[in-house]
Amino acid sequence: MDTKYGREDLTADVLVIGGGIAGLTAAVSIKEKNPDLDVLIVEKQTCGYSGKANKGGGVLQYFDLSRVNPVEFAAYHANVIGCFLGDQELMIKYVQMNNHMFDKLVEWGANVPKREDGSYDVMPTGPMTAMIGIDLDVTLKVRRTAEKLGVRIMDKTSVTDLLTSDGKIAGAVGFSILDGKLYTFRAKAVVLATGSQNYRIGPMWGSGRGDGIAAAYRAGAEMRNTEFGNFAQLVKVRSHEEVVFGENFMYNKAGEHVTKNFRTGPEPDISGSAIAEWYNQMAANMGPIVLKREMPEGGGPLNMLWKRPYGQRFWELNNEHAHAVDGDDMEVCPMLIGEQSPVKVDHDMQTTIPGLFAIGDASYCGSAAPGAVPAPPGRNRGSGILNAVFAGIMCSDAASKTGAGETLPPVCDKQIEDCVKRLYAPLERESGCKSKDIMRVIHKAVGPMERSVYMSGHRIETAMRYVEKAKSMLGELKADDFHELLNAHEAEAAVLSAEMQFRAAAMRKESRGWFIREDYPETDNKNWLKWIIVKNKDGEMALSTEDVPWEKWPIKPPID
């Protein structure tokens, strides 16, 4: 069907949806494996500037493989971070590929600081790990490499739905956010690299809108670990500037060092227990919570360790703003970031829909590699960008083979017609609510720490009432232009993500890793070494469980 905004039908061997570091890595890796393949990246903003790799601290996790045994790190991770909910085989592979990933980034033009002897300029962060800073132009560098290899790039085009044929991927449907033009894409393989769900709360993380997750869910792909979409970070109350590692120096109004209430020794990063302690102190009228030690704002001193000219001014402006707003005020509170990343994938990053791959922050928890934590930083600083690179490389072999198939799959005209009606529906309504109205309701569900991080059955029920209210508003969602149309579809994705998150949270009756329930405070290895699976069945959200196959992995959990 045509539209009043026009229509264009495009084809590719491999369609990559999302032009951040994950999508670019996949596109480059696929072209390196098979230069003859037609690879197309479709990005709703601008490829090379989109995503999160160019908006944060820009650190990569480094393993010195001459002294780090990957199995030993997997053991540490299982016991301290992932709490035996993680796929140990995938974690071991991630560590084994660490040096290869660094070398590929350098080969693709990224600025990775090195010492005079040619070794990487790493900073130790623990007994087995280190970090190194990468400049924030990394995605621009890899975009240039992709273009040199012949990857086609299409900016300002939002993909809203995936197309299937006989249970396999067939392509996608989207529109131009500039003029509303309809695009259909036929492809033999599709790589979903659209990022996580961050609920538009934290400004630095706001690009994670979950629209790719929603598209995969509607197409029938299974989701895994949706309850781990609740990452929160301590921020300054006034400026909302992140205070990395501030949880080590938390004091209440009586001057008591409350960190000691939840932390008995060194930990790799902030945990949900820090958020629970903040909540309990505030509930007991022992707030405000302040930091009693001078802390870096926006990671300032850390960013000075390496020469990264592209990002330097970015951090300087951040720090100047925070200091102007906060002054000497060191009061902190938690801010929900989200980081839901649930698209279920195998070790090739292929979803439960053949031919559809999901990588980076779309499938971090869905891969099960990290276990009981949300997507990066997920108590594993430096793993965010590197996991995106890892997943992009891991999918490239199977995606390139699928893309080399003989014929493009057929697409169903009725399926396209249904997608198009859904796509433009907010533009066709004469009146209704706006996306910001729906997001205000969703923020009431996910924003309070006692609903999303330090949970209980009653508080989850309260959150779900807000989700149901937002869900009831979707049929009245109105857009006045194409940018608002984009926001409308992203708001719809936020409602879906929140529903998946809280329904799975209500189902998991234990506390494990980042997931904390006040009414079920203990970890239950006897009954809950399980992944929660969410799937769209005829328009209804169905939840089930899948046993974690821990028997086949080298590190075994304690079973009571």
Of 155, 199, 180, 178, the closest CA to residue 44 belongs to 155
Q: Dump the DSSP string for 356-413.
A: EEE-GGGTTTTTTSS-SS-STTTTSTTHHHHHHHHHHHHHHHHHHHHHTSSSPPP--H
pLDDT of residue 103: 95
pLDDT of residue 304: 58
Distance, CA of 156 to CA of 446 (rounded, Å): 29
* Secondary structure letter of residue 477 according to DSSP: B
Q: Residue 147's beta-bridge partner residues?
A: none
- The domain segmentation of the chain, as residue ranges, is 232-337, 420-551
- C-alpha to C-alpha distance for 288 and 111, rounded to whole angstroms: 41
HEC string of 207-262 equals CCECHHHHHHHHHCCCEECCCCCCEEEEEECCCCCECCCHHHHEECCCCCEHHHHC
Cβ(247)–Cβ(360) below 8 Å: no
Q: How many residues does the chain have?
A: 560
User: What sign does the CA torsion over 210, 214, 215, 220 have?
Assistant: positive
- pLDDT value of position 300: 46
The C-alpha atoms of residue 103 and residue 525 are separated, in whole angstroms, by: 39
N- to C-terminal Cα distance for the chain?
60
Q: Which residues pair with 334 in a beta bridge?
A: 234
Strands, E assignment, 273-365: 290-291, 332-338, 356-358
- Strand-pairing partners, residue 534, are 223, 543
Give the torsion through C-alpha atoms of 427, 431, 436, 442, to 10 deg.
-100
d(CA 43, CA 62): 29
pLDDT for position 328: 87
Nearest partner of 218 among 466, 498, 552, 497, judged by Cα? 497
Q: What is the per-residue pLDDT for 299? A: 45
Per-residue pLDDT of the chain (560 residues; tens, 9 = 90+): 778 999 999 999 999 999 999 999 999 999 999 999 999 999 999 999 999 998 888 899 999 999 999 999 999 999 999 999 999 999 999 999 999 999 999 999 999 999 999 889 998 887 788 999 999 999 999 999 999 999 999 999 999 999 999 999 999 999 999 999 999 999 999 999 999 999 999 877 888 999 999 999 999 999 999 999 999 999 999 999 888 889 999 999 999 999 999 988 888 889 999 999 999 999 999 999 999 975 444 444 455 578 888 888 888 888 888 889 999 889 999 999 999 999 999 999 999 999 999 999 999 999 999 999 998 888 888 899 999 999 999 999 999 999 999 899 999 999 999 999 999 999 999 999 999 999 999 999 999 999 999 999 999 999 999 999 999 999 999 999 999 999 999 999 999 999 999 999 999 999 999 999 999 999 999 999 999 999 999 999 999 999 999 999 999 999 86
The amino acid sitting at 417 is E
Indicate the fold that domain 420-551 takes in CATH.
Methane Monooxygenase Hydroxylase; Chain G, domain 1 (1.20.58)
Query: What long-range pairs does 551-554 form, CB within 8 A, spacing at least 24?
Result: 553/87, 553/88, 553/89, 554/71, 554/74, 554/75, 554/88
Which amino acid is residue 72, in one-letter code? E
The β-bridge relationship of strands 182-192 and 7-17 is parallel
What's the one-letter identity of residue 404? A
The pLDDT score that the predictor gives to residue 298 is 45
